[in-house]
């Protein structure tokens, strides 16, 4: 029997695990339904700049994709490729990771249209904070927004994974993120920083790379998680217009790592 190399085994495990361990990954029928909903909303809307988005989505085909983050079909294709490359990248990493969520309440936007939100500005700020905190190894994740239905604000945030990070660096990053970045809801101070130590990232990576803007319903009971639902129609169309102006790579966050057609490559020492 042919003996596979360690790298070949890693490839097989990663590709297979994506499909087997993600039972909730979008089905073909669900994707068609979502594509129909998005195009229908754009057709019915009277908002400016929606025509170009609608046209791109209507003429998106598997052999000629539009590659728009507003397109459900292209999101699914890019998600799967990106999830695979991230899992492969971290296959040899140490078995402990930090899953980090950073919310920039100082930059929340109170309006219907999120056009003023600039992901690159916040990514540059985050990279500076990681450097000041002493992070020297790769950190990856995505920029996201939620729309808070109660406060009617767009809330920018990041989901990140990092391996080989010591607790003192996490504490220092917490301090840096907390500076002038408080959020209050009904008199309660919101946490702009959250981190937890995890051993398995197979479920977290698909969660990070959703490329979807959702509405957030306030917590029903203290300590419970806010529920995420589809955006109201007006904000939904605005979110599609906003997403369409970007490439997928514009919404990915990478620190000490580059992405090319051959996959992800560390810009620092080996992650083994």
| b/e sequence 63-93, b meaning 16+ C-beta within 10 Å | eeebebbbbbbbbbbbbbebbbbbbbbbeeb
- For residue 39, pLDDT over 70 is answered with yes
* Rounded Cα gap, residues 16 and 11, in angstroms: 8
Q: What is the mean pLDDT of the chain?
A: 85
pLDDT band at residue 272 using 50, 70 and 90 as cut-offs: very low
> Which tens digits make up the pLDDT trace of 137-162?
999 999 999 999 988 999 999 999 99
> Which tens digits make up the pLDDT trace of 106-128?
999 999 999 999 999 999 999 99
Question: What DSSP letter does each residue of 258-269 carry, written as one string?
Answer: EEETTEEEESSS
* Rounded Cα gap, residues 207 and 107, in angstroms: 23
Q: What is the largest CA-CA distance in the chain?
A: 66
Task: Please state, for a pLDDT cut of 70, what percent of the chain lies above it.
Answer: 83
More confident residue, 263 or 146: 146
- For residue 186, pLDDT over 60 is answered with no
Strand partners, 179: none
- For residue 16, pLDDT over 60 is answered with no
* Rounded Cα gap, residues 13 and 253, in angstroms: 25
Q: Is the pTM of this model over 0.75?
A: yes
């Amino acid at each position: 029997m042919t003996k596979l190399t360690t790298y070949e085994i890693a490839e097989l495990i990663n590709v297979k695990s994506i499909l087997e361990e993600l039972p909730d990954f979008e089905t073909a029928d669900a994707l068609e339904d979502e594509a129909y909903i998005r195009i229908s909303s754009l057709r019915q809307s009277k908002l400016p700049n929606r025509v170009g988005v609608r046209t791109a989505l209507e003429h998106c085909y598997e052999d000629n994709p539009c590659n728009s983050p507003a397109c459900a079909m292209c999101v699914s294709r890019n998600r799967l490729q990106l999830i695979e490359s991230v899992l492969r990248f971290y296959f040899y990493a140490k078995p402990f990771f930090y899953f980090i969520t950073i919310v920039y309440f100082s930059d929340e936007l109170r309006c219907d249209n999120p056009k003023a939100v600039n992901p690159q500005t916040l990514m540059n700020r985050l990279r500076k904070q990681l450097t000041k905190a002493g992070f020297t190894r790769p950190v990856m994740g995505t920029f996201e927004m939620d729309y808070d239905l109660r406060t009617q604000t767009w809330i920018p945030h990041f989901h990140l994974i990092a391996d080989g990070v010591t607790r003192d660096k996490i504490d220092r990053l917490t301090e840096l993120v907390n500076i002038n970045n408080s959020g209050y809801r009904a008199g309660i101070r919101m946490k702009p920083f959250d981190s937890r130590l995890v051993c398995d990232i197979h479920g977290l990576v698909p969660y990070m790379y959703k490329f979807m803007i959702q509405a957030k319903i306030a917590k029903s009971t203290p300590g419970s998680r806010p529920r995420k639902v589809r955006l109201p129609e007006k904000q939904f169309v605005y979110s599609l217009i906003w997403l369409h102006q970007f490439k997928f790579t514009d919404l990915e966050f990478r620190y000490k790592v580059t992405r090319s057609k051959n996959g992800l490559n560390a810009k620092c020492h080996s992650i083994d």
